[in-house]
Structure 1
């Protein structure tokens, strides 16, 4: 099934022909739907459901701290989806955490940061039909390049996949701003989410609309 959601520019998010193994049970509070291709997914836009649990005991871990001004109460979740040499897709999702006092932190296994994506749900969002996804890199930008909100809004391609880190601690500034999009039942408040300093990324680059990167399916990073 191919799903599509229009943005304020009149364009559409077009989902790949891939479905998910895990379906949403209770909404975004349970997280992002992640799973193996070939099994029907739940309804688009209700959030993506929590995947596998914590990593094996003894794995090295990294404290990932996001600084997120002006987004108090925003819900953020981390995900990793990688294709194995056998061709199947292995997925993981963190618990949903809320921004408090301008920050939110996670402590995933360090290996989970390689090819990691992040999703955001802001308190102001209407029924968009997709989950806002952090853009780690916009087209035309290189690692370390600054990104302003006007620049982000003009971009048409972005990567949802972070290359990750090997260190034990990392702090990542994150911009989340309210924008207007065409949702499931007309124009609604939505969000754009990106890092203001371009991070090392992994393919693929995906289509954005007015800079907004939205996900209905798992982001498989290469």
Structure 2
């Protein structure tokens, strides 16, 4: 009896001791450090104090309908000396939208959003303010990059828009050189793209 009890105890002890080769959860900070990252700098004239926030939401129509889209947001950063820089996981540039809040904006009821492409434009086409204000559709979704460093010029200009209760100062924001983009193309008013919710890119 003693031998059987001792053998059983030894077996239980062997089962309870963790194996040296057992997998352990990866440290989240190690995972973050291992991800490829992109330093993304936006340059913009006459927009000191403008606040930018990046969002990445990439999914299919089925995923969006089921509420399963992986949504990522950056911290808000402020334009200083004509530029603002973010360092983000490279994969988060895919399906990225850019929300902009200018110091002059009144109660618009939406967040001004960067237009990566307007209707009628192809990747690489130049866009002026005079052209932008004539547009009726735009994409808030960037196709993204694999580069480690990107400098992206953008245009942000004060315009009059219909606010919550009256006409107020608002902003139009777009890239002066049309970028690679993702659907959907959304309706805009005089070139102004505004968002009240996350832009889910497809």
Report the TM range for the smaller structure's normalisation. 0.7 to 0.9
- Establish whether residue 133 from structure 1 lines up as the match of residue 109 from structure 2: no
Paired position in structure 1 for 2:95: 115
Paired position in structure 1 for 2:12: none
Indicate which of 172, 194, 200 corresponds to 1:214.
Answer: 194
* Larger Rg, first or second structure (1 or 2): 2
Paired position in structure 2 for 1:59: 35
TM-score scaled by length of structure 1: 0.74
SS in 2 for 1:111: helix
Map 1:1-222 to 2 at 5 A. 56-83=32-59, 87=66, 88-222=68-202
SS in 1 for 2:92: helix
Matched residues in 2 for 1:81 and 1:219: separation? 7
Contact preservation (8 Å) 2:96, 2:142: yes
| Matched pairs, number | 168
TM-score scaled by length of structure 2: 0.81
Pairwise CA distance, 1:172 = 0.4
Q: Which runs of 5+ in 1 are unaligned?
A: 1-54
Pairwise CA distance, 1:56 = 2.9
Higher helix share: 2
Matched residues in 2 for 1:182 and 1:213: separation? 13
Q: Which runs of 5+ in 2 are unaligned?
A: 1-30
